[in-house]
Amino acid sequence: MCGIVAYVGPKDAAPILLEGLQRLEYRGYDSAGVVVSNRGLKMRKVKGRVADLAAVVPARFKGTLGIGHTRWATHGAPSDVNAHPHLSADERIAVVHNGIIENADELRAKLEADGAVFLSETDTEVLAHLIARTVEDAESLAEAVRAALKRVVGTYGVAVVDAQRPGEVVVARNGSPIVLGIGEKEMFAASDVAALVRYTRQVVHLEDGELAVLKADGFNTFSSDARETAKEPLTVDWEAGHYDTGGYEHYLLKEISEQPETVARTLRGRLDDRFHIAHLGGLNMDARESRSFRRVKIIGCGSAYYSGQIGAQLIEELARIPSDAEPASEFRYRSPVVEPDTLYVAISQSGETYDTLAAVQELKRKGGRVLGIVNTVGSAIAREVDGGVYLHAGPEVSVASTKAFTSTAVAFALLALHLGRVRDLSPADGRRIVQGLRALPGQIEEILTLEPRIKELAGKYADSPSMMFVGRVRGYPVAREGAQKLKEVSYVHAEAYPASELKHGPLALIGPEMPTVAIVPDDELLDKNLTTLGEIRARGGRVLMVGHREADPRLADDCLVVPRNEIELDPILLSIPLQLFAYHAAVALGRDVDKPRNLAKSVTVE
């Protein structure tokens, strides 16, 4: 969730660190700080934004080595003192840290009993004291860091510098990402490639338990028991320009607007018009293996989980395999029964979502076959799974997921088509779905032309204290994702329910002050959905209907009509106007659209 940047080379480190931290602002944070090494360690840190940090970094803040951090509070409230980096008492060691040290209280008590004085409430300061106590006698900074980390229980991505070893940075990972960037006579490290792509596209991902020593002329990586490991650099496709707003007011609007292109990229080269099937070579499964599974279990968190619900319905409808989706954060703690004939699918835009990664590792430990649907090439989940599908949606900067959500739903349609065609889906139905998938980018373009009308409706409903989102079967995951978007970017309370469940309790909430957004596709449940609208209107509730036809004014106050595709694929299109609705509601309310309060883009802690 937090951001780490490190640099060693011939250039002035501070501007590189500050620029890198700006690139990581989208991950969510409440404070920021930097340290550079030049005849001792110089540090500046503040509660607030990177711009606030830059304002207190003096012009003579020089050094060719340094580390920087954006913090999302876990231990201790946001403050200047709790901001990273943290220094040892003698100011020799500086540490930045992502993750949570679970035994921090125990370690802190032991250190205080030995005379250590702590300045902050953070778990991270424990690391600075531990490293400082062994560095004098250690052969290297890496050895001191390794010794300290052996005493730590929890997750970490760390970067450490030593005032007496000004030519190197040591980084380490366990459950929280660290990526190395390889430059010309300079080295970088970060928690996200976003901080690196301006300077290099050659990267190395550390595995859990690995440590790296960075010097200007290269790097070495080691396992936790000090054995050197071999790493092959990857070339990332993303460029610095992908992280710019591109003339849009917000990243969120840019990413919503990019969806015709991103969906086309997810589909590119994967549709077969001869056999009406999807080619997904990354699954690493032949037709016989694809036929052997009797159940599909999908895991993800937040919007990834809701896209998984859409995916489960697609797989059941097209491949006729029992399928369901579950939050990864719950799955890993309920001692799940891992069946050999179940295919598990893990979803994560970043590929680093800690709850999902931990669930994948538990599944692998128990012998489960796991596929991944991720956006970030080389990410931890992509490396852990047996095979999978890359989204190719490009960087998603805004905290609220839009294009990655849509591309994930499209990837599930491809997976469902693939599994269906190696089982019992007819060529005619395969052709129908292929044609429907090919139509999606153009239909999304059509929906985007509705933005002025959606903006008008968002302004009309934005002052509501709470909103209800409802849908049936295919429409229910759409309603859940719509409510999620509105909550996270506008802070308007929103609930999502199956439309059929309203009369079993939630109908008590309906009244003039509680508008309802109803997802009403033209499918076999149309009449039942219209009956639900009548029940809401009979109780004085206002209704905004999102569907495929104009609504009877007796049943809905307002209506958004979107293009019709195949009924299995309609949920993908029905989600798009809800993204724009949430965005414009947030703008109307003056919210920080791209960085909603209390949230982070990549959730790498529990």
Which H or E run includes 204?
strand 202-205
pLDDT at 478: 97
Do domains 244-425 and 449-593 share one topology? The answer is yes
How many other C-beta atoms are found inside a 10 Å radius of the C-beta of residue 274? 6
Note the CATH number of domain 3-235.
3.60.20.10
- Of 2, 254, 301, 403, which residue is the catalytic one? 2
CB 9 within 8 A of CB 185: yes
Q: What integer pLDDT is reported at residue 240 of this predicted model?
A: 67
Q: Which amino acid is at 352?
A: E
What are the tokens at 118?
């702590």
What is 522-541 written as a DSSP string? SSTTHHHHHHHHHHHHHTT-
Cα separation of the two ends of the chain: 10
Residues 6 or more apart whose CB falls under 8 angstroms from that of 231 comprise 180, 204, 221
Q: What's the pLDDT at 595?
A: 87
Strand-strand pairing, 65-71 and 156-162: unpaired
* CA 197 – CA 207 distance, rounded (Å): 20
Among candidate residues 190, 204, 168, the one with its CA nearest the CA of residue 68: 190
- Please give the CATH number for the structural domain made up of 449-593: 3.40.50.10490
Any residues with CB less than 8 A from the CB of 320 and at least 6 apart, and which?
420, 423, 424
Under 8 Å between Cβ of 160 and 145: yes
Coil vs helix vs strand at 130: helix
Residue 373: which of 392, 389, 385 has the closest Cα? 389
175: which residues sit within 8 A by CB, 6+ positions away?
Answer: 99, 154, 155, 156, 157, 208, 354, 357, 358, 604
> Residue ranges per domain, the chain?
3-235, 244-425, 449-593
Q: Is 487 annotated as catalytic?
A: no
Residue 214 CA to residue 562 CA, distance in Å, equals 53
- Tell me the CA distances in angstroms from 302 to 289, 329, 407, 486, one per residue in order: 30, 10, 15, 13
- 101 in Cβ contact with 124 (< 8 Å): yes
Coil, strand, or helix at residue 205?
A: strand
Contact assessment for residue 419 and residue 318, using Cβ atoms and an 8 Å cutoff: yes
3-class SS of residue 63: coil
What single-letter amino acid sits at 303?
A: S
Best CA proximity match to 66, nearest among 89, 96, 29:
96
pLDDT at residue number 217: 94
Give the tens place of pLDDT for each residue, 511-553. 899 999 999 999 999 899 899 999 999 999 999 999 999 988 8
Radius of gyration of the chain (CA): 25
- Kindly report the length of the chain: 606
In whole angstroms, give the CA distance from residue 188 to residue 179.
Answer: 8
- Decide: 81 and 110 in contact? Cβ < 8 Å: no
Residue 156 three-state SS: strand
- Distance of alpha carbon 377 from alpha carbon 197, whole angstroms: 14
Tokens of 190: 């970060």
**Token pair in block for residue 496:** 């999502």
- Residue (of 45, 107, 94) closest to 65 by Cα position: 94
> What contacts 589, CB < 8 A, 6 or more positions away?
462, 490, 491, 492
Going from the first residue of the chain to its last (606 residues), give the mean pLDDT of each consecutive group of 10, the final group possibly shorter.
90 96 84 94 95 93 95 89 94 94 94 93 94 91 95 94 95 93 96 91 93 96 92 82 84 96 96 94 91 96 96 97 96 89 95 91 94 91 94 92 97 97 95 98 98 97 96 96 97 94 89 94 91 92 94 92 97 98 97 87 68
CA 173 to chain centre: 18
Report the Cα 594 to chain-centroid distance in Å.
13
Catalytic one among 47, 254, 485, 601? 601
CATH architecture under which domain 244-425 falls: 3-Layer(aba) Sandwich (3.40)
What are the beta bridge partners of residue 229? 221
pLDDT score, position 376? 86
Q: What pTM value is reported for the model?
A: 0.85
CA separation for the pair 289, 23 (Å, rounded): 42
**Quick one: CA dihedral 289, 291, 292, 295, positive or negative?**
positive
Q: Could you give the 3-state DSSP secondary structure of residue 215?
A: strand
- The strand pair at 543-547 and 516-520 is best described as parallel
Asked if 460 is an active-site residue, the reply is no
Residue 358 and residue 301 in contact, taking contact as beta carbons nearer than 8 Å? no
Nearest CA to 152 among 102, 93, 206, 212?
A: 102
Determine the Cα–Cα distance for residues 231 and 214; give it in Å rounded to an integer: 14
Peptide bond into 58 cis (omega under 30): no
Distance between CA atoms of 442 and 474, rounded to whole angstroms? Answer: 22
For residues 208 and 223, the answer to whether their CB atoms sit within 8 Å is: no
| Residues 372, 298: Cα–Cα separation, whole Å | 10
Per-residue model confidence as pLDDT tens digits over 367-387 = 999 999 999 888 889 999 999
